[in-house]
């Protein structure tokens, strides 16, 4: 990297809820921005660039940045809006990192939001990012995609429905300790296994909810970060890896770029044993069952063996593998904003500020990802020291 080294100096998010009728979209964003500015002890005057993003079809706007910018006080600043369906938040962060590392700006603010209580139906109507001619004629959605993916995973790995339920219970246990998380249900394996079946083997509890929420981060180049922050979280590397509809689920149900992206980023950062060298994981799993496959792809265990770790009870905030200590996406999912929440949570873990869901011990490195469509991924590595 020839550009500046960069750090996250402030993070903020709203308390995620299924409905926020008390605010409009812009006010929701303002909440997260205020939280991030307060966290960084900066004011809007210090910010010189804003990067915004949300998954538009799920919100019912086109280019909502235009009317949200004045409401968060960013008139007169440079910036633009990014969008990449499910990985929108990931791309927003990546753009913010690029803008800060380019040396053009001192303080870059990244904001993403989603208010799904307003137009969640539009997402289903649009086919959820489907090819207009081909998959547009089938009822395709993340639910059907993950039904197929999980079905395939179960055939290949030999895990049972009970293991899938164990994953969901672990996520719920984590979410209960996170004050920002949306779903805190007190689940048991029986409860999950008796839940309404959407499309076998996916039950309602396995899928991510619809959420209204927003999150923001503030990024600075090295010199500035050292000046303004006592606990900067350094951004080691990031990689956007998209395959945009290159493979349909029919062609390869396990199609994903996560494994590829992780291998590439580990190589760039000299990580040999990710399980040891990364102490906290915030991975975007739109369905709880995806967590199993993602654990394998990020390099925690061998292919098709992750379910054994759950059987042995080795995954959890205080346990050997702190995977999604925040509760993950099955607890909270404001689509376009979710990846920013992952980065925020990973940064909090590195700083040691995650309060009740803090992973014990020093967190030197944390990994956050974004997921979208049929296997698009953005991977971020954050670390404590330069």
Partner 1 sequence: MAQRVGIVAVAQTKFEEKPGLHIGELLYQASRDVMKQTGLEFKDDGTGIDSTIASGYDLMSGPGGAYMFLGYIVGAWQREDERVIEDGSMAVYYGAAQILSGHADVALVVGYSKETQIDKNLIECLSMDQVYQRRIGLDFVSSAALQAMRYTTKYKITPEQLAKVVVKSRKNAKNNPYAYCCDTITVKDVLRSTMLCDPIRVQEAKPTPVDGACALILANEEKAKKLTKKPVWITGMSSCYDHHELGYRDLANCDSLVTAASKAYKMAGITNPLKEFDVAEISEHYAYQEPLWCEGLGLCGKGEGGKLTDSGKTEMGGELPVNPSGGVLSGIPHCLAGMHSVVECALQLRGEADKRQVKGAKKALAHGVDGPAGQLHCVITLEN
Partner 2 sequence: MLKKEEPQDPAVAFRYPRVITYKHSLGYQSKFAHALKMGRIIATKCPVDGRCTIPPRIVCPMHHVRQTEWVDQGQRGKLLSAFKINFPMFDSRTGDLKSWETPIVSIELEGGARMDGWCAEKDTEKLKSGMILEAVWRPPEERKGRVDDILYWKPV
- Which span sits near partner 1 by CB under 8 A: 102-110, 286-294, 299-307, 338-346? 102-110
| Residue 80 sits in the site that holds partner 1 (CB under 8 A) | yes
Q: State which residue, 144 or 305, has the beta carbon closest to partner 2.
A: 144
Please pick, from the candidates 14, 257, 288, 369, the single residue that binds partner 1 as defined by CB under 8 A: 257
| Residue 151 sits in the site that holds partner 2 (CB under 8 A) | yes
| Residue 56 sits in the site that holds partner 1 (CB under 8 A) | yes
What six digits make up the tokens of 177? 């300790």
Please pick, from the candidates 15, 43, 70, 179, the single residue that binds partner 1 as defined by CB under 8 A: 70
Distances (CA, A) of 137 to 8, 254, 365, 372: 43, 22, 44, 20
Asked if 308 contacts 183 with a C-beta cutoff of 8 angstroms, the reply is no
- Distance of alpha carbon 275 from alpha carbon 298, whole angstroms: 9
What six digits make up the tokens of 384? 């404590």
In the region spanning residues 264 to 293, those forming contacts with partner 1, defined by CB under 8 A, are: 264
What six digits make up the tokens of 220? 């600075």
**Cis link prior to 201 (omega < 30° from 0)?**
yes
What six digits make up the tokens of 227? 């000046």
- Distance of alpha carbon 169 from alpha carbon 99, whole angstroms: 39
| Residue 334 sits in the site that holds partner 1 (CB under 8 A) | no
Please pick, from the candidates 243, 254, 305, 364, the single residue that binds partner 2 as defined by CB under 8 A: 243
Please choose, from the candidates 291, 237, 230, 225, the residue with its C-alpha nearest in 3D space to the C-alpha of residue 265.
237
| Residue 89 sits in the site that holds partner 2 (CB under 8 A) | no
Q: State which residue, 78 or 122, has the beta carbon closest to partner 2.
A: 122
- Distance of alpha carbon 277 from alpha carbon 230, whole angstroms: 24
Residue 293 DSSP one-character state: H
Asked if 142 contacts 55 with a C-beta cutoff of 8 angstroms, the reply is no
- Distance of alpha carbon 31 from alpha carbon 364, whole angstroms: 29
From the CB of 275, what's the least distance to partner 2, in Å? Answer: 30
In the region spanning residues 250 to 269, those forming contacts with partner 2, defined by CB under 8 A, are: 250-251, 253
What six digits make up the tokens of 170? 């672990």
Please pick, from the candidates 85, 147, 218, 329, the single residue that binds partner 1 as defined by CB under 8 A: 85
- Distance of alpha carbon 314 from alpha carbon 322, whole angstroms: 9
Q: State which residue, 90 or 299, has the beta carbon closest to partner 1.
A: 90
Please pick, from the candidates 45, 125, 230, 276, the single residue that binds partner 1 as defined by CB under 8 A: 125
- Interacting residues toward partner 2 by CB under 8 A: 21-23, 60, 118, 121, 124-127, 130-141, 143-144, 147-148, 151-152, 155, 196-200, 243, 246-251, 253
- Interacting residues toward partner 1 by CB under 8 A: 1-4, 24, 50, 53, 56-57, 60-67, 69-70, 74-85, 91, 94-95, 97-104, 122, 125-132, 238-246, 257, 260, 264, 373
């Amino acid at each position: 990297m020839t550009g500046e080294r960069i750090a996250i100096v402030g993070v903020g998010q709203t308390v995620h809820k299924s409905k926020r009728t008390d605010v409009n979209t812009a006010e929701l964003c303002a909440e997260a921005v205020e939280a991030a500015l307060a966290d960084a002890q900066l004011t809007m005057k210090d910010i010189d660039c804003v990067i915004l993003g949300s998954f538009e079809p799920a919100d019912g706007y086109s280019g909502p940045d235009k009317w949200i910018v004045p409401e968060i006080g960013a008139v007169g600043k440079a910036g633009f809006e990014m969008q990449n369906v499910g990985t929108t938040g990931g791309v927003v962060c990546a753009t913010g990192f690029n803008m800060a590392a380019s040396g053009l700006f001192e303080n870059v603010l990244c904001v993403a939001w989603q208010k799904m209580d307003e137009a969640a139906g539009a997402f289903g109507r649009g086919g959820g990012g489907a090819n207009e001619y081909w998959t547009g004629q089938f009822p395709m959605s993340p639910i059907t995609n993950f039904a197929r993916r999980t079905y395939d995973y179960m055939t290949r790995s030999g895990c049972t429905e009970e293991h899938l339920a164990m994953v969901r219970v672990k996520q719920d246990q984590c979410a209960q300790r996170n004050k920002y998380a949306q779903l805190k249900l007190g689940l048991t394996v029986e409860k999950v296994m008796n839940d309404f079946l959407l499309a076998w083997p996916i039950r309602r509890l396995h899928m991510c909810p619809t959420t209204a929420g927003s999150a923001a981060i503030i990024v600075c180049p090295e010199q500035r970060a050292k000046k303004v922050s006592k606990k900067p979280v350094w951004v080691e590397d990031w990689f956007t890896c998209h395959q945009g509809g290159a493979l349909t689920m029919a062609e390869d149900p396990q199609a994903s770029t996560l494994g590829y992206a992780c291998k590439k980023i580990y190589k760039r950062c000299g990580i040999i044993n990710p399980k040891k060298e990364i102490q906290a994981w915030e991975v975007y799993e739109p369905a709880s069952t995806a967590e199993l496959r993602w654990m394998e792809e990020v390099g925690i265990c061998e292919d098709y063996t992750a379910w054994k770790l759950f059987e042995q009870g080795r995954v959890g905030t205080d346990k050997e593998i702190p995977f999604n200590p925040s509760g993950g996406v099955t607890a909270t999912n404001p689509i376009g904003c979710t990846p920013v929440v992952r980065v925020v949570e990973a940064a909090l873990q590195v700083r040691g500020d995650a309060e009740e869901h803090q992973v014990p011990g020093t967190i030197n490195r944390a990994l956050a990802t974004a997921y979208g469509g049929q296997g698009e991924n953005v991977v971020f590595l954050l670390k404590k020291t330069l």
